[in-house]
C-alpha cells in the first residue's frame, strides 16, 4: 500500500530533530521510489519531485524548528496539488436539465456509477432520469433498468433499437418536457479505445451538449487507465473522472497521475459494487490518507511474509536460545531485512524500539554488497567472535574486500547495535503469533 510505504519514509524523517540536506535528499529519493512503485506516471512523478525538492531544500526547511514536520507539510501540499488542488463538484447546468454522459471502457463501472450518481441526485431532491445508450448488449439495458428500479429513478430505453443518437435525442426531449433536473446517459464501452466508439460518443456529445462528460476508469489497472483517460480526453474533452474499484487493492497510482496527465479533476471514487459505494473526491483528504499513519499490524504481517521462514526460524533460535548472535547471523538478518525495504520502517513499528538505537542499524540497500564483501573476507573464527577483530585484522580484511577500514569499523558498530536490538527483541517475543518466524 502506497500510504504504508510513504508513512515509513516519514516516520523516519518526522522524528529527527535536525535534517541535513543529504537526509532530505535521501528521503526524497525514497518518496520517488515509492511513487513509481505505486505506478504513478513517470512524468508526473518527475514534476512532483522537482517541486518538492525546490521547496524542501529551501532554507525554510533546514532552519525550521521541526524540519521533519515541515517536509511532511510540503509533501502533503504537493500531493494535494498533484491530485487537483481542491474538490471539484459536479457541474450543474444553469438551465435544466443537467446532462451527464458516462464514458469509458467496457467493465470500468459506467453503468454502476450512473446508478450511484442517480441515487445521489435523487437523494438531493433532484428529479433524475437515466438513459440506456449502450444498445449493443441487451443485458446492458436490463442492468440499467434494474438499477433504476433500485434507486427509484426512471430509465429511458428503446429495446431493440440501435439508433443511439436518435435514442439520445428523444430522451432529451422527454427530459425537457418532463422538467427533469438531471439526465444521466449510460454509453457503450469497448475493451480498448477504437475509432468507431469515439465517433459515436462524439455524435452523442454534439446532440446532448452535456454539462459533464465523466470518464469512468477502473482504479485497479493503474498506469494503463491514465493512457486511456488521455485518449478519451483528446477525443471528447472530458470534464471529470470517476475512479472505480478503489475499495479493492488499487495501488493508488492512477489517482495520483490522472490529473497531472489530463488536467481533468477526479470527481468521485467508486468504493464498492453497491449503490452507496460512491465517495466525493477531496484532493486534500486523499493526500492526507496517503500520508496517514501506517497500520502496524499490516506491516508486521508483511514482515512475516517477506522473511524466509526457515532462515528466520534459525535466527529466532539464535535470538531466543542460548546461541550467540554473531556476524554470520548479522549478515543473514541483513539479507532478510532487505526484503522489507528500508529496515528502519519496520523496526520503528515495533514497540520498545527507539530511533536512536536504530540509527546505526539502518542499511542502505546499495551498501548490502559491500557488507557482504566485508563479512565474507573474514575468517570463520572472526565471524563467530567479532571481538577478536583487532586493528591489524581489520586492515587485512580491508585489503581482502577492497573497502576502507572506516567502513569496516562502521559495520562493526552496526553489528553491535543489531546485537543490542536482538536482545531487545527477546522481550517482544510474547507479542508475536507463534510460528510466524521472526520474533
Q: How far is the CB of 233 from ligand GDP (least distance, A)?
A: 17
The verdict on 270 binding ligand GDP (CB under 6 A) reads yes
Closer residue to Mg ion in complex, CB, 138/365? 138
Contacting residue, 247, 279, 328, 407, with ligand GDP by CB under 6 A: 247
Please count the other Cβ atoms lying within 10 Å of the Cβ belonging to residue 92.
15
CB 341 within 8 A of CB 8: yes
Q: Supply the minimum distance, in Å, between the C-beta of residue 116 and Mg ion.
A: 13
**Nearest residue to ligand GDP, scored by beta-carbon proximity:** 270
Q: Which long-range contacts (CB under 8 A, 24 or more apart) does 334-337 make?
A: 334/363, 334/368, 334/371, 335/368, 336/306, 336/307, 336/308, 336/311, 336/312, 336/438, 337/363
Least separation in angstroms between CB 242 and Mg ion: 13
By CB under 6 A, name the one of 12, 277, 283, 341 that touches ligand GDP. Answer: 277
Counting every residue written for the chain, the total comes to: 439
Check binding of 96 to ligand GDP (CB under 6 A): no
115 Cβ neighbours under 8 A, 6+ residues apart: 130, 144, 147, 148, 150, 151, 275
Instruction: Give dist(CA 116, CA 276) in Å, integer.
Output: 7
Q: CB 244 → ligand GDP: shortest distance, Å? A: 4
Question: Which ranges in 250-403 belong to alpha helices (H)?
Answer: 253-262, 283-291, 296-306, 309-320, 327-338, 343-349, 355-358, 368-376, 380-384, 391-401
What's the grid cell of residue 331? Answer: 549478515
Q: Which stretch binds Mg ion (CB under 5 A): 71-79, 106-114, 256-264, 301-309?
A: 106-114
Number of neighbours of residue 239 by Cβ within 10 angstroms? 20
Torsion sign over Cα 382, 383, 385, 391: positive
Applying CB under 6 A, the span of 102-110, 166-174, 198-206, 312-320 interacting with ligand GDP comes to: 102-110
Q: Map residue 363 onto helix, strand or coil.
A: coil
Footprint of ligand GDP on 188-207 (CB under 6 A) = 189
Q: Which stretch binds Mg ion (CB under 5 A): 79-87, 140-148, 294-302, 319-327?
A: 140-148
Q: Which stretch binds ligand GDP (CB under 6 A): 33-41, 100-108, 372-380, 407-415?
A: 100-108
CA atoms within 13 A on the CB side of 70: 19
Using the rule CB under 6 A, which residue among 273, 276, 364, 413 binds ligand GDP?
273
Count of residues interacting with Mg ion (CB under 5 A): 3
Nearest to 263 by CA among 243, 287, 244, 239: 239
Q: Report if residue 302 touches ligand GDP, rule: CB under 6 A.
A: no
Q: What are phi and psi of 189, to 5 degrees?
A: -125, 175
Closest separation in Å from C-beta 111 to Mg ion: 3
Give the integer Cα–Cα distance in Å for 227 and 224.
5
* Binds 96: which of ligand GDP, Mg ion, none (CB < 5-8 Å by kind): none
Rounded to the nearest angstrom, the gap between the alpha carbon of residue 320 and the centroid of all alpha carbons in its chain is 37
> Could you tell me the maximum CA-CA distance found in the chain, to the nearest angstrom?
96
Q: What is the dihedral of CA 418, 421, 426, 428, to 10 degrees?
A: -130
Please enumerate, by residue number, every residue annotated as part of a binding site: 104-111, 186-190, 244-247
Residue 111 binds Mg ion (CB under 5 A): yes
The window from 270-278, 281-289, 330-338, 415-423 that contacts ligand GDP (CB under 6 A) reads 270-278
Q: Which residues are annotated as a binding site for GTP?
A: 104-111, 186-190, 244-247
Which position among 88, 98, 108, 398 is part of the footprint of ligand GDP (CB under 6 A)?
Answer: 108
Our CB check for Mg ion shows the closer of 110 and 394 to be 110
Q: Provide the minimum distance between the beta carbon of 106 and ligand GDP in the complex, in angstroms, as a whole number.
A: 5
The nearest distance, CB 243 to ligand GDP, in angstroms, is 8
Q: Which of 106, 223, 360, 419 binds ligand GDP (CB under 6 A)?
A: 106
Cell 431493440, residue?
160
**If you write DSSP's letter for every residue of 235-250 in order, what string do you get?**
HH---EEEEE-TTS--
Region binding Mg ion by CB under 5 A among candidate stretches 107-115, 235-243, 265-273, 428-436 = 107-115
| Pick 186 or 344: Cβ nearer Mg ion | 186
Residue 159 near residue 141, CB atoms below 8 Å: yes
d(CA 142, CA 405): 75
Shortest distance, CB of residue 90 to ligand GDP, whole angstroms? 17
For ligand GDP, the binding residue among 110, 267, 302, 394 (CB under 6 A) is 110
Residue nearest to Mg ion (CB): 111
Shortest reach from residue 112's CB to ligand GDP, in Å: 3
Residues that bind ligand GDP (CB under 6 A): 104, 106-112, 189, 216, 244-245, 247-248, 270-273, 277
Q: Which residues bind Mg ion (CB under 5 A)?
A: 110-111, 140
Amino acid at each position: 500500500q502506497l500510504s504504508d510505504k510513504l508513512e515509513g519514509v516519514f516516520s523516519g524523517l518526522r522524528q529527527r530533530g535536525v535534517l541535513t540536506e543529504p537526509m532530505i535528499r535521501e528521503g526524497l529519493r525514497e518518496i520517488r521510489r515509492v511513487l513509481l512503485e505505486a505506478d504513478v506516471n513517470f512524468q508526473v512523478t518527475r514534476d512532483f519531485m522537482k517541486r518538492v525538492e525546490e521547496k524542501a531544500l529551501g532554507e525554510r526547511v533546514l532552519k525550521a524548528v521541526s524540519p521533519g514536520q515541515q517536509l511532511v507539510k510540503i509533501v502533503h501540499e504537493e500531493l494535494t496539488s498533484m491530485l487537483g488542488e481542491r474538490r471539484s463538484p459536479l457541474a450543474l447546468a444553469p438551465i435544466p436539465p443537467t446532462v451527464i454522459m458516462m464514458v469509458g471502457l467496457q467493465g470500468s463501472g459506467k453503468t454502476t456509477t450512473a446508478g450511484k450518481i442517480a441515487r445521489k441526485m435523487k437523494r438531493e431532491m433532484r428529479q433524475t432520469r437515466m438513459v440506456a445508450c449502450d444498445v449493443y448488449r441487451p443485458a446492458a439495458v436490463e442492468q440499467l433498468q434494474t438499477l433504476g428500479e433500485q434507486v427509484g429513478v426512471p430509465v429511458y430505453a428503446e429495446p431493440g433499437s440501435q439508433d443511439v443518437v436518435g435514442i439520445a435525442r428523444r430522451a432529451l426531449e422527454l427530459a425537457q418536457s418532463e422538467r427533469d433536473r438531471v439526465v444521466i446517459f449510460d454509453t457503450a464501452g469497448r475493451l480498448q479505445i477504437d475509432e468507431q466508439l469515439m465517433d459515436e460518443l462524439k455524435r452523442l456529445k454534439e446532440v446532448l451538449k452535456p454539462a459533464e462528460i465523466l470518464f469512468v476508469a477502473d482504479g485497479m489497472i493503474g498506469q494503463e487507465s491514465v493512457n486511456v483517460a488521455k485518449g478519451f480526453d483528446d477525443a471528447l474533452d472530458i470534464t471529470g473522472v470517476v475512479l472505480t474499484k478503489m475499495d479493492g487493492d488499487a495501488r493508488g497510482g492512477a489517482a495520483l497521475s490522472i490529473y497531472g496527465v489530463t488536467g481533468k479533476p477526479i470527481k468521485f471514487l467508486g468504493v464498492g459494487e453497491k449503490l452507496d459505494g460512491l465517495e466525493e473526491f477531496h484532493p486534500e483528504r486523499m493526500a492526507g490518507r496517503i500520508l496517514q499513519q501506517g497500520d502496524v499490524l499490516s506491516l508486521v504481517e508483511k514482515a512475516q511474509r517477506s522473511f524466509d521462514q526457515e532462515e528466520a526460524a534459525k535466527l529466532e533460535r539464535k535470538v531466543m536460545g542460548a546461541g550467540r548472535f554473531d556476524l554470520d547471523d548479522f549478515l543473514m538478518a541483513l539479507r532478510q531485512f532487505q526484503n522489507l525495504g528500508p529496515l528502519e520502517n519496520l523496526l520503528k513499528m515495533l514497540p520498545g524500539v527507539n530511533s536512536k538505537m536504530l540509527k546505526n542499524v539502518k542499511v542502505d540497500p546499495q551498501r548490502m554488497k559491500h557488507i557482504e564483501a566485508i563479512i565474507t573476507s573474514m575468517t570463520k573464527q572472526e565471524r563467530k567472535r567479532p571481538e577478536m577483530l583487532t586493528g591489524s585484522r581489520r586492515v587485512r580484511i580491508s585489503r581482502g574486500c577492497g573497502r576502507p577500514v572506516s567502513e569496516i569499523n562502521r559495520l562493526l558498530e552496526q553489528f553491535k547495535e543489531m546485537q543490542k536490538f536482538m536482545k531487545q527483541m527477546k522481550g517482544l517475543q510474547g507479542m508475536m503469533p507463534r510460528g510466524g518466524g521472526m520474533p
